[in-house]
Chains A and B, each alone.
Chain A
Amino acid sequence: MKKIFLVLFCFILCASAFAMGDNEAKGDRTTTLSLGLWPEESRTADVASMTELKKQFEAKYPDIAVKPAHYKYQPDTFIPMAAAGQVPTIIETWFTEPGKIIDAGYAADISAVLNELGYMTKMNDSVKTMVSRGGKVFAIPRDAYALGLYINLNVYKKAGLLDANGMPKYPKTFDELAKTAKIIKDKTGIPGMMITSKDNVGGWHFTNLAWAFGAEFEKKVNGKWMANLDSPEVIAAMNYVKDLKWKYDVLPESTLLGWGDWIQYFGTDKIGMCFAAADVVGIPVNDYKMDRNAIAIAPIPKGPGGQYSLMGGTIYIFSHTATPAEVIAAFKWLDFTGRLPKIDEESMKNREIDLQAKVDAGEPVGCYPLPVWNDKAYNDSIEQLNRKYANINMDLFKDYYTIAPKTLKAEEPYATQDLYRTLDGVIQVVLGDKNADPAALLKEANDTFQKGFMDKVK
């Protein structure tokens, strides 16, 4: 008897496992838009404004159901989700990512939709190249930003580096950067600058620094792409980094620092300056309760080779498993919330709701993105809206917004993340070892990078 019960129990267990299906009721709504752009739960102000938008959107489109599906892109969480077909209909990711996502087949081809809606011709050409493969387009840009020099005004104040109006006396050249950092270190004991070296962030920042020394990391020689990591210019830039650590001693003690670290160090007044773009200005405020008025952004300094600002930004991609109807629903959402180059009352109003929510939450508002669409009226309207809702002193960003757009430079074209990783390794040794020889290390890195990656470029 006991045995029969046991067998029966097993069967019930198996059967119930199979029976757990998708019981979600959709009603009349035939299309489900699973919205990866939904804010995370802890950001209550954003969630409230989003919920309001969802209500209005669903009233306007009775056939679409919006399903909140907060997702913050991370390569390691993206791949299992994508392999399982669980990626929300639309998500955001960074400029550096579309290449590998498209190659892995995890982004939907949206060329037809773009052509139909007329946005194809409006997209900025360099962005379009980045998100295209074989004439097909797989993503659209949200916005773009230029890398700048973040300035911690609390630290600057302690070091006596603010002028009479409270504006920072920021460095205009890399020479001045070292000297300013030294003043900070001498007067406050706080490291004046941060050089990252981990998770590809180090290489990413370093390419921008090295461009100012005249570096060119990848170049075409006789029709073949060659790595150029050991040029005198790159070596000079690496020696500069080495000097920051060992000659001027203006960097943090820890030499393995990545993305989360600059936010923590900057947000808690433990460094005076670092590289970052204007789109993340809210993170130190959110994560470390930093005073939003203590942040200024200056353009990346000039070097012997010129002045450059690396261009980065955010794109929208659409799940490879999304149906055409779902992709169109996602475009309707973007349109509704004012994320497409189109000016109408509704989308502008909803943009304002979004900015107001940020203001209410105490996040810094005012730093507007660089244009990614060839639509002047639309681009101007975004800048104006941001200025209207600005809750920070925009004078602190004036030079950044004047100079950065004129000195923009796109990232190196091939195996960009691998280039960053390779450079990370060199920076780690240079920062960790006083006697490191940048020339020899870069020669070795160059050979590795050429053999591992550039040889494969066709």
Chain B
Amino acid sequence: MKKHLSAWILMIPTLLLFGFYIWQPLFYSIYLSVSETKGYEVIGFAGFKNYIEVLNDPVFLKALFNSFAYTLWSLVIGFLVPIILAIVINELVHLSSLIRISIYLPNIVPMIATILIWKFILDPGAGGLLNSLLMGLGMGKVGWLQQEAIIIPVIISTLTWKAAGATTLIYLARLKGINQELYEAAEIDGTNIFQRLRYITIPQIYNLGRILLILQILAVFQILIEPWLYTGGGPNNASVSLMLLNWNYAFRDFQAGKAASISVIVNIILIVLTLIYLTFNKEQDE
């Protein structure tokens, strides 16, 4: 112990920060979820009362369904985009750094600015950028952010615009690391570009893709800011997510216990999803 004293002392700040920013909120959240609360103050033990009330909230099922819908749409719309972009950029001879920078730019635009820009583009009136383009092409206007049927894919598209660049860079770094001799050998064997993609590129980025897939699921399932700022969860709760419901309980209705119980439910769902994914992967690896 004495030997490691200075090491322990050096670790104290990190441990304190971890405790303060991660462990304390995590455990406090679980504690709050089984407590009766008055504001943020715990006034008694509630058992599963908060959970039962939250599960009976008519909006809960919709939010649960929507959170899965966001995740699925994000995989459909957003998962392949960075991979395709990375492969294309990797093949480019000219302008590759310019394009690399431009696809990363949306990432450094602040969230609020992004949403304001997109609201302008998606404005449902004839003055909306996208609608005026459509009308110029002789098509009708679309109420982009106010139709229940399309609201989630629309939000996910804007999210993809913002986030794809960063993921592309990760794939691109992996692609650059592939041993060029593999391609040379394949070319000598007379393969075409699709075969090289199929037998070299994709297997080489496969493992990275698996990690990014689960990270994307974890992140999108917790979507909050976009639906909150684009639509406030509307129209008619069509875009409300579990985290937005959580936010509403905590900051609009002042019911910390119920908000915490949603956090715990989201946590459990994500743990289950991750476990299923890991088991599935393990079987595949074996």
Interface residues, chain A, CB within 8 Å of chain B? 3, 6-7, 10-11, 13-14, 75-76, 79-80, 82-83, 100-101, 103-106, 197-199, 252-256, 258, 417, 424-426, 428-429, 431-433, 448, 451-452
Contact = CB atoms under 8 A, between A and B. Distances in A.
B12 A10 contact: yes
A100 B12 CA distance: 41
B184 interface: no
Contacts of A429: 148, 235-236
Residue from B143, B232, B235 whose CB has the most chain A CB atoms within 10 Å: B235
Counting from the closest, the 8 A-B pairs by CB-CB distance are: A253-B125, A104-B39, A428-B235, A83-B40, A76-B251, A425-B236, A448-B58, A104-B254
Contact of A425 (B40, B125, B237, B250): B237
Given A254-B125, A255-B124, A256-B231, A75 B38 contact: no
Interface residues of B, number: 35
B234 interface: yes
Nearest to B240: A425
B126 interface: yes
A113 B252 CA distance: 30
A91 B145 CA distance: 36
Contacts of A256: 145-146, 231-232, 234-235
Contacts of A80: 251
Given A76-B251, A253-B124, A256-B146, A104 B38 contact: yes
Residue from A11, A106, A254, A424 whose CB has the most chain B CB atoms within 10 Å: A254
B283 interface: no
A111 to B, nearest CB: 19
A76 B146 CA distance: 24
B146 A452 contact: no
A253 B145 contact: no
Interface string B236-259: 110000000001001111101000
Contacts of A105: 38-39, 41
A253 B126 contact: yes
B179 interface: no
B57 interface: yes
A420 to B, nearest CB: 12
B146 A106 contact: no
28 contacts: A7-B10, A10-B9, A10-B12, A14-B13, A75-B254, A76-B247, A79-B251, A83-B40, A83-B41, A105-B38, A105-B41, A253-B123, A253-B125, A254-B123, A254-B146, A256-B145, A256-B232, A425-B237, A426-B236, A428-B235, A428-B236, A429-B148, A429-B235, A432-B146, A432-B148, A432-B235, A433-B148, A448-B58
Contacts of A7: 6, 9-10
Interface of B: 6, 9-10, 12-13, 38-41, 56-58, 123-126, 141, 143, 145-148, 231-232, 234-237, 247, 250-254, 256
A7 B8 CA distance: 10
A101 B253 CA distance: 9
A104 B253 CA distance: 9
Contacts of B251: 75-76, 79-80
A451 B124 contact: no
A198 B229 CA distance: 12
A106 B39 contact: yes
Nearest to A106: B39
A429 B39 CA distance: 33
Contacts of A426: 236
Contacts of B41: 83, 105
Main secondary structure of the interface of A (DSSP, over half): helix
B184 to A, nearest CB: 49
Given A253-B124, A432-B146, A198 B234 contact: yes
Contact of A13 (B13, B124, B148, B235): B13
B28 to A, nearest CB: 12
Contacts of B231: 256
Contacts of A14: 12-13
A251 to B, nearest CB: 11
A30 B93 CA distance: 74
B250 to A, nearest CB: 7
B16 to A, nearest CB: 8
Contacts of B236: 425-426, 428-429
Contacts of B254: 75, 79, 100-101, 103-104, 106
Given A105-B39, A258-B232, A448-B58, A6 B10 contact: yes
Contacts of A424: 234
B147 A432 contact: yes
B224 to A, nearest CB: 12
A79 B40 contact: yes
A246 to B, nearest CB: 13
Contact of B56 (A100, A101, A103, A452): A452
Contacts of B148: 429, 432-433
A452 B57 contact: yes
Nearest to A452: B58
Contacts of B247: 76
Contacts of A252: 125
Contact of B124 (A79, A101, A254, A425): A254
A79 B253 CA distance: 9
A426 B234 CA distance: 10
B10 A451 contact: no
